[in-house]
Amino acid sequence: MAKNLVIVESPAKAKTIEKYLGSDFRVLSSVGHIRSIVKKTKDGTPPIDVDNGFKTTYEIDPDKKKVVSELKRAVKEADQVYLATDPDREGEAIAWHLCEVLGLDPLTTKRITYHEISKAAVEQALKDVHNIDMNLVAAQQARQILDRIVGFELSPVVWQKVPGGKSAGRVQSPAVRLLVEREREINEFAGSYQFKVTATFVHDNQDVKADLPQRFDTEQEAQEFLESLTGATFSVTNVTKSPATRNPAGPFTTSTLQQDANAKLGFGSKATMSSAQKLYQEGKITYMRTDSTNLSGQAIAAAKDFISSAFGPEYSQVRQFKTKNSSAQEAHEAIRPTDMRLERGSSNEYDQKLYNLIRTRTLASQMAPAKLEKTTITIAISTGDKQFEAKGEVIVFDGFLKVYGGSKKEAEILPAMASGDQLDLITASAKQVFARPPARYSEGSLVKKLEELGIGRPSTYATIIDTVQTRGYVVKGEGEGTPRDVIVLNYDGTAVEREVTQEKTGADRGKLVPTPAGELIADFLGDHFEQVVDYDFTANVEEEFDRIAENQLARNAMLKAFYTPFHKLIEQSGGIDRSKVGASKDVGIDPKSGKPITARFGRFGPMLQLGSADDEEKPKFAPMPSGAKIETVTLEQALTAFQLPRTVGQTADGKDIKANIGRFGPYIQIDKLFVSIKPLDPHDITLEQALELYEAKLKTEAEKNISDFGDGIKVLNGRYGPYITDGKKNAKIPKDTEPKSITHEQAKQMLADAPTAKGRFARKTTTAKKTPVKKTATKKPRKK
């Protein structure tokens, strides 16, 4: 039996580490956090007792009780216990919770940390044993307690005072405010346009593209300029060549990894961190939550060796990047591969793309700069004083661009020219170009902005972005933009021709767009709880967490300084008038009924109301038309909205097909079956289209249902495999049990045997105890 027990938080990590340690070591996993703050205590004291030094009551998570029991047995059997959770505040907190639950002394229990999962790193960690850093634990507790207090005290206020309000979070709320402010900048942007002139010349049978540096404010000015080119000659007056260098960026931090993965691979922050975690646990990269750009001497030497042998010594240039964030720990490393020579980090295509991004960025950081030669040619016009400019670029030495950051678009290469050379004009054009409003945030650019403002830390960026979307305050745009006319004046050497083309504007695909609910919550918090959405205040709180971790600030002092003014605002919130929260507008009068139509905010967002609550007949409601807002919706749009639901036709067996718009978008309804019809419009969807979508939905439902016992209990095919459900509780079917062979009684027994999840685990599928598949009746379900 193994004398030493090593506890990590991930089963995949445990599997990797166990390969590096001998038979004297047993490696087990806690499967993440094992305890959380209780919802309600048994003796009635507050879960977080503010008046008693913020004393916090924890409970073992329901789905971790079996894990904890196994760990307790293993601890009793071991001579020595090592806690090897992640090297950050969350990992330190998990180690402390393990001590509390397993009866270990946090002041003497051996703690080991490492920043990569390799044999050498793990063996070195066992030599550098230390104790749990209680300052890091206190910093994690401060964040957890503060977030819990804000959520539990502020969310009920939001439910009561904000129509459709769901909840509010300490760090998520400033992120929503950022997105709302950007959206309003876009809406308030005053559009303008100019005319940009480009021309194509020919020299020695090679095309030369050039631009006019000046732009014209009117179409008439642009036309007059093009007409002035008639009969003109064009000559080179100056050729300027200048050397330039381009240096590589530093290796990845958590923030820059999320930014580049989003920009180059289209990965969201949550997906990036999930993929990076798998690569870390498999020993392929260093720890993925870091704000350091530091590389160890060993890593730098390995990179230099690989670069010199693969590309030549002239490509190698050793660099050490200084971390900008003052709170970053230089002992931590940037995200890098554990083996610089390993090109294949995963058999999974998705994970491999991220691994390749991390590897090439790390190698590039240790490579020579790229050397460029930039050329600018000035072309004079004989009939005027304006000049065209042709610009080109040649890469003299590619340096780090050999592996990372090369442009997809080839730079313009200009033919050799000298002052006095004559050029022939082929074509010239003046195109209407529009001023661009501020860009909406992508996940990557939002992470960059949060980092700039000091909001959040490496471990929280992905969670922030995921949470604001989950709560319905932000959505990822899907719009391809709307067409607009563009004037183009074309000159062929003899005459100017005008044409009108089209281009799309306002595309938001993949961008983060605040919903009306997001705008409402941002305004509400800004009006009544300014500190919750204030950028400087939120950043200052993050700095105070850092000071707690460095033992420069007492945890309870920091919590009290935040809680006292915050709780006072909560106590004063009773005076907030719900009827004044959110905009409302009288749209007009319905000509048929003579009743007023009002645009206002309802439980599920902006909506239209026909009639008054004081009328004998109940008011009718309709969702806000697509693209309309409370402030902008017209009477015509409102009247069209009240034409729904619309009967499209009937199915082959005579059932009505009704089209409508609900909280999740447009749909058709046949009996109790709802079918999404995105991106079709319920006002004009055809019967043929509706029947096609209906048939596809029936097929999907048939494939999903394995068995239906008629009393609400079903055997279904789910995303993660077959499971049993009664609509309230789910039980996963053991792998060696054939789903189709399960009887009604066996299904009931499996549901009874599955533990009842509580709190945040309530919707998770629990694994049922294996019930033998027999012809005889099973036992009655045991009482809970």
DSSP for 396-462 reads EE-GGGGTS---SSPPP-PPP--TT-EEEEEEEEEEEEEPPPPPPP-HHHHHHHHHHHT-S-TTTHH
Q: At 105, list the tokens.
A: 């002394």
Q: DSSP 3-state assignment of 682?
A: coil
Q: At 303, list the tokens.
A: 């990179």
For residue 242, the surrounding DSSP H or E stretch is strand 234-246
Q: At 420, list the tokens.
A: 């006095």
Instruction: For residue 386, count CB atoms less than 10 angstroms from its CB and return exposed for 0-12, middle for 13-18, buried for 19 or more.
Output: middle
How far apart, in whole angstroms, are the C-alpha atoms of residue 223 and residue 203? 26
Which residue in 10, 25, 7 sits closest to 280, CA to CA?
Answer: 10
How far apart, in whole angstroms, are the C-alpha atoms of residue 436 and residue 726? 53
Catalytically annotated residue among 82, 114, 287, 694: 287
The single residue listed with the structure tokens 């506890």 is 7
Q: For residues 42 and 59, is the Cβ–Cβ distance under 8 A? A: no
Query: In degrees rounded to 5, what are phi and psi of residue 292?
Result: -105, 140
Q: b vs e for 158-193, b when ≥16 Cβ sit within 10 Å of the residue's Cβ?
A: beebbbbbebbbbbbbbbbbbbbebbeebeeeeeeb
The two beta strands, 585-589 and 512-514, are: unpaired
315: which DSSP letter? Answer: G
| CB-CB neighbours of 462 under 10 Å | 23
Q: Residue 103 is which amino acid?
A: G
Contacts 24+ apart (CB under 8 A), 637-641: 638/587, 638/588, 638/597, 638/599, 638/608, 639/590, 639/591, 639/597, 640/683, 641/608
Q: For residues 141 and 91, is the Cβ–Cβ distance under 8 A? A: no
| CB-CB neighbours of 652 under 10 Å | 8
| Catalytic residue flag (residue 287) | yes
The single residue listed with the structure tokens 């079903």 is 714
264: which DSSP letter? Answer: I
Active site residues: 287
